[in-house]
């Protein structure tokens, strides 16, 4: 499978926890940016992607007319593409019936809505401009428009968030019967406003919240299929599963990543640099690498282990990481389920610690297999 990711970097305001390529006050650049996306696609290898994911930023900051233009440009760029799944991200304060009608008409199968929390005071404290009522309204509009699936983004571990607050949010969201929920723990990244304010993560409370959420979502019939993702049967994100299975994908737009033919690239993050490169007829590549040997095998491991069901490792992977795998097993963080490698429940909670065993720098002895 090959996926297509399209990054729309425009936002009304940048949330206090956000480390993505997202820019407020730049909407005058939308027309130029949409043209650049089509021009960039023309510079890429010919592809017929099977999944589409429009993310950001906040794609719903585009007007209905601009949204229609985006899809028209994508269809011209990929005339043979027949999306088996197409996802569009948006926020409750910028999604309206007109835009949702455009998305339904374009065959969008998944609407991913950023709620984060149903606590209105907490929303305001993290830089969000909508309310829980706005979210419920948009879900109703999406259902009325005929979009087949609604996915909800939630966060836990936010400053001032309590366990009871998270439980209330889950009750509120689950009453609306979403097909998919993504639940992310707060990570304070260097370039965020939270980092500047000295916000710290509470790992103990975060684990309590994560455990409570897993239980609540399971009771509601959503399967925990990836570390941060839960879905009703038949509603997993095929686009994201392709990432975790180390499938190929093309990324268009600021900061977008691609993985094609074993080569991993990332685009220019700054809007001006991205536009200048594409308008000059150049691919806007800022970084490029081709993982090989032990590094490529490590990617196979830490991506595959993100899936709760795990994955079947290649023989080369088993041999290259026999020592680290045995050590992780001894710590009770991973196990073998027939031919599959999987995280234990305890390993899920400290997944990043597990993944470090599969990424450079490797010890001198381990690096021999590179």
3-state SS, one letter per residue, for the chain? CEEEEEEECEECCCCCCCCCCCEECCHHHHHHHHHHHHHHHHHCCCCCCCEEEEEECCHHHCCHHHHHHHHHHHHHHCCCCCCCEEEEEECCCCCCHHHHHHHHHCCCCEEEEEEECCCHHHHHHCCCCCCHHHHHHHHHHHHHHCCCEEEEEEEECCCCCCHHHHHHHHHHHHCCCCCEEEEEECCCCCCCHHHHCCCCCCHHHHHHHHHHHHHHHHHCCCEEEECCEEECCCCCCHHHHHHHCCCEEEEECCCCEEEECCEEEEECCCHHHHHHHHHCCCCCEEEEECCCHHHHHHHHHHHHCCECCCECCCHHHHHHCHHHHHHHHHCCCEEEECCEEEECHHHHHCHHHHHHHHCCCCCCCHHHHC
Question: Who's near 338: CB < 8 A, 6+ residues apart?
Answer: none
Domain check: are 309 and 236 in the same one? Answer: no
pLDDT block averages, 10 residues each, the chain of length 370:
96 80 88 98 94 96 98 96 96 96 98 97 91 97 98 94 97 98 86 79 88 96 98 98 97 97 96 97 97 95 97 96 97 97 95 94 54
Q: What is the pLDDT of residue 253?
A: 98
Domain check: are 328 and 232 in the same one? Answer: no
193 located within any domain: yes
Domain check: are 219 and 323 in the same one? Answer: no
Domain check: are 221 and 297 in the same one? Answer: no
Distance CA 50, CA 147 (A): 18
Domain check: are 193 and 82 in the same one? Answer: yes
349 located within any domain: yes
Distance CA 136, CA 2 (A): 33
Distance CA 85, CA 3 (A): 10
283 located within any domain: no
CB 302 within 8 A of CB 359: yes
Domain check: are 191 and 299 in the same one? Answer: no
Domain check: are 107 and 11 in the same one? Answer: yes
Q: What is the pLDDT of residue 196?
A: 80
Domain check: are 112 and 44 in the same one? Answer: yes
Q: Which domain holds residue 364?
A: 293-369
Compute how many other C-beta atoms are within 10 angstroms of the C-beta atom of residue 355: 16
234 located within any domain: yes
Strands 85-90 and 110-116: parallel
- Looking at 220, 242, 264, the residue that finishes a domain is 242
Considering its fold, how many domains does the chain have in total?
2
The tokens describing 333, both together, are 């963080």
Domain with residue 235: its CATH number is 3.20.20.70
Compute φ and ψ for 164, nearest 5 degrees. -65, -35
Domain check: are 202 and 326 in the same one? Answer: no
Distance CA 67, CA 87 (A): 13
Distance CA 34, CA 219 (A): 42
Domain check: are 211 and 315 in the same one? Answer: no
323 located within any domain: yes
Distance CA 87, CA 53 (A): 5
Distance of CA 181 to the CA centre of its chain: 12
Half-sphere exposure of 330 (CA within 13 A, CB side): 6
């Amino acid at each position: 499978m090959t996926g297509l990711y399209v990054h729309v970097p425009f936002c009304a305001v940048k949330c206090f926890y956000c480390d993505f390529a997202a820019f407020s006050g730049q909407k005058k650049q939308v027309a130029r940016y949409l043209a650049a996306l089509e021009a960039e696609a023309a510079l890429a290898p010919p592809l017929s992607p099977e999944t589409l994911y429009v993310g950001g930023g906040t794609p719903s900051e585009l007007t209905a007319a601009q949204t229609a233009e985006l899809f028209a440009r994508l269809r011209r760029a990929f005339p043979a593409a027949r999306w088996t799944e197409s996802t569009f991200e948006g926020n409750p304060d910028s999604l309206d019936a007109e835009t949702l009608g455009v998305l339904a008409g374009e065959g969008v199968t998944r609407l991913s809505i950023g709620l984060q929390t149903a606590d209105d005071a907490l929303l305001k404290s993290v830089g969000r401009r909508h309310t829980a009522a706005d979210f419920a309204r948009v879900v109703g509009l999406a259902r009325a428009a005929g979009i087949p699936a609604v996915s909800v983004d939630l966060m836990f571990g936010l400053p001032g968030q309590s366990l009871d607050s998270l439980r209330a949010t889950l009750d509120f969201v689950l009453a609306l019967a979403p097909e998919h929920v993504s639940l992310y723990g707060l990570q304070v990244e260097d370039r965020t406003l939270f980092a500047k304010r000295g916000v710290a993560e509470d790992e103990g409370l975060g684990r309590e919240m994560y455990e409570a959420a897993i239980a609540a979502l399971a009771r509601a019939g959503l399967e925990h299929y990836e570390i941060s993702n839960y879905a009703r049967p038949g509603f997993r994100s095929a686009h994201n599963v392709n990432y975790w299975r180390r499938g190929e994908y093309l990324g268009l737009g600021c900061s977008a990543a691609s993985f094609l033919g074993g080569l991993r690239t990332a685009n220019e993050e700054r809007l001006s640099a991205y536009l200048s490169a594409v308008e000059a007829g150049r691919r806007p590549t800022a970084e490029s690498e081709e993982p090989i040997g032990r590094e490529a095998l490590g990617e196979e491991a830490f991506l595959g282990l993100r899936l709760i069901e795990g994955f079947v490792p290649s023989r080369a992977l088993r041999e290259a990481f026999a020592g680290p795998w045995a050590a992780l097993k001894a710590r009770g963080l991973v196990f073998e389920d027939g031919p599959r490698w999987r995280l234990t429940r305890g390993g899920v909670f400290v997944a990043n610690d597990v993944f470090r065993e599969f990424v450079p720098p490797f010890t001198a002895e381990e690096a021999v297999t590179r």
